Amino acid sequence: MSQLAPLLARTASWLNSPGSHGGIVISSRVRLARNIEGFAFQRKLSPVRQQELVDHLMVKVSATAPMPNALALKIDQLNPLERLALVERQLISRDLAGGKRPAGVYISSDEMYSLMFNEEDHLRLQVISAGLCINANLELAVQLDRTLEKALPWSNHPEFGYLTACPTNVGTGLRASVMLHLPALVETGEFKQVMRSLSKLHMTVRGLHGEGSEPTGHFYQISNQRALGLSEQQLVDHLNETVERIIAYEQLARQSMMTKSRTRLEDKIFRAWGLLTHARSLTSDELIDQLSWIRLGAGLGILTWRNWKMLDRILLQSQPAHIQLQNAHAEDVEARDQLRADLVRKWLQAPSSEQN
């Protein structure tokens, strides 16, 4: 049995649909990149020194900012599936999961806090929660950062600010991102225009699983591209403003579909429902794409079914590693796709007494 078993069976706290703004905002995430004095940047460290760094950080973090029932994990002690499951839960990066180097992660029991050791930077501190709450998350991240700083002297430059392995992070070391669900903007074709504007605003757009992931299910992570020259608060304000504007566009696009192409909209939504409640085999991508329409249908009141908790559960639990780690008979892709379809049918058709 995997040491992640208790974690995997739960829904992540950052996934608490409808989130905010009628299901448009899934979650907000703030990440601080830090490096400590006395160790070179990761790329220049020998494997032995990297191991020392990870052990050092694990000890210092547990002692300085202990979190009840936290999970302290060494990445090399996890099998590839367990690592992928942590990526699926947004707790570690693909880079950390795939790396051969010593690495670790410290995760609070509610999964709101996650501290990666020996990622691109020595330490990457993440605060993630449901809804649009970048400010609150920044506050929590800064608090934790200040606590840790007492035991861990951050590499700092009087003019540039925090030093980081990649120059784009120098300064505040802050990256803030918001995960949005934008089916109407994509369907109406307006999202291309939004993407162009975001690029001009120095914003980055990514898929469900961050860097290197293709957008699926109309889920997009919007984040600030640069960290230098602006204060934490300025960066966050800038992101907040941008996100609020995108939300407004998505709301307009939804209203427009409701009035101008209602049948096409309903067709998409009810087909998705018909497909997910009947298919005998489902890939992860097809499921997420179809689930997107059901989420929209629930948000717009087109579906009477509106079990948000179940939508979250499916989104999380039906991902490849989650399926495979929690089911003995899911070794090959075919068995997994079949099992996924069986689970989704069962979950979507659960009696309303099991609904929230």
Q: How far is the CB of 214 from a second copy (least distance, A)?
A: 24
Residues 205-244: x where in contact with a second copy by CB under 8 A, - otherwise, as a string: ----------------------------------------
Say how far apart CA 110 and CA 18 lie, in whole Å: 19
Nearest to a second copy of 116, 269 (CB atom): 269
Nearest to a second copy of 201, 335 (CB atom): 335
* 114 to 123, 289, 314: CA distances (angstroms): 10, 28, 23
Residues 155-194: x where in contact with a second copy by CB under 8 A, - otherwise, as a string: ----------------------------------------
Q: How far is the CB of 273 from a second copy (least distance, A)?
A: 6
Q: How far is the CB of 259 from a second copy (least distance, A)?
A: 15
Q: How far is the CB of 277 from a second copy (least distance, A)?
A: 6
Contacts for 257 with CB less than 8 Å, ≥ 6 apart: 184, 187, 188, 264, 265
By CB under 8 A, the count of residues binding a second copy is 18
Nearest to a second copy of 25, 272 (CB atom): 272
Nearest to a second copy of 176, 272 (CB atom): 272
Establish if 303 lies at the interface with a second copy (CB under 8 A). Answer: no
Q: Which of residues 272-301 bind a second copy (CB under 8 A)?
A: 273-281
Task: Report which of 129, 224, 113 is spatially closest to residue 171, judged by C-alpha positions.
Answer: 224
Q: How far is the CB of 302 from a second copy (least distance, A)?
A: 10
Say how far apart CA 145 and CA 35 lie, in whole Å: 12
Nearest to a second copy of 243, 298 (CB atom): 298
Handedness of CA 135, 136, 139, 140 (dihedral sign): negative
Q: How far is the CB of 113 from a second copy (least distance, A)?
A: 41
| CB-side neighbour CA atoms (13 Å) of 271 | 9
Nearest to a second copy of 111, 337 (CB atom): 337
Taking each helix axis from N to C end, the angle separating 284-300 and 262-276, rounded to the nearest 10 degrees, works out to 130
Q: Which of residues 238-277 bind a second copy (CB under 8 A)?
A: 263-264, 266-267, 270-271, 273-277
Nearest to a second copy of 211, 334 (CB atom): 334
Handedness of CA 70, 73, 79, 83 (dihedral sign): positive
Q: How far is the CB of 267 from a second copy (least distance, A)?
A: 4
Q: Which of residues 305-344 bind a second copy (CB under 8 A)?
A: 334, 338, 341
Say how far apart CA 215 and CA 219 lie, in whole Å: 6
Task: Report which of 132, 234, 249 is spatially closest to residue 186, judged by C-alpha positions.
Answer: 249
Q: In the numeric block, which tokens belong to residue 347?
A: 């979950």
Nearest to a second copy of 249, 273 (CB atom): 273
Buried b (16+ CB within 10 A) or exposed e, 318-343: bbbbbbbbbeeebeeeeebbbbbbeb
Q: In the numeric block, which tokens belong to residue 14?
A: 């950052």
Say how far apart CA 61 and CA 148 lie, in whole Å: 7
The site for a second copy (CB under 8 A) is made up of 263-264, 266-267, 270-271, 273-281, 334, 338, 341
